[in-house]
Amino acid sequence: MCKILNISRQTYYYQAKPIENESDLEEIVQEEFIRNRKAYGTRKLKKCLAKRGLQLSRRRIGRIMKRRGLTSTYIDRSF
């Protein structure tokens, strides 16, 4: 079947590795947030975590940030 679809067997049988503990994930998100000077929101954190090999949705990162009380700093526009 893999030959017909022109994909490797490794791709066909691939399963993402689940993260063992939710608190570990929260620690990683908080660590990345602090490392980026508390300036990153969910979208930028998602990209940073993807570089580290973690695939999380923006909404899940947002829920973790809300639970931990993490809010990003931002500067108001001045005209």
Give domain status of residue 53, yes or no: yes
Give domain status of residue 9, yes or no: no
Give domain status of residue 51, yes or no: yes
Give domain status of residue 11, yes or no: no
Other CB atoms within 10 A of residue 25 CB: 17
Give domain status of residue 72, yes or no: yes
pLDDT top residue among 75 and 66: 66
Give domain status of residue 26, yes or no: yes
Q: Which domain holds residue 26?
A: 21-79
Give domain status of residue 30, yes or no: yes
DSSP symbols for 23-64: HHHHHHHHHHHHHTTT---HHHHHHHHHHTT----HHHHHHH
Residues 56, 46: contact at Cβ < 8 Å? yes
Segment 10-19, tens digit of pLDDT: 988 988 777 6
Give domain status of residue 15, yes or no: no
- Number of domains composing the chain: 1
Segment 9-61, tens digit of pLDDT: 998 898 877 766 889 999 999 999 999 999 999 999 999 999 998 989 999 99
CA-based nearest residue to 46, from 36, 38, 56: 56
What was the pLDDT predicted at 14? Answer: 87
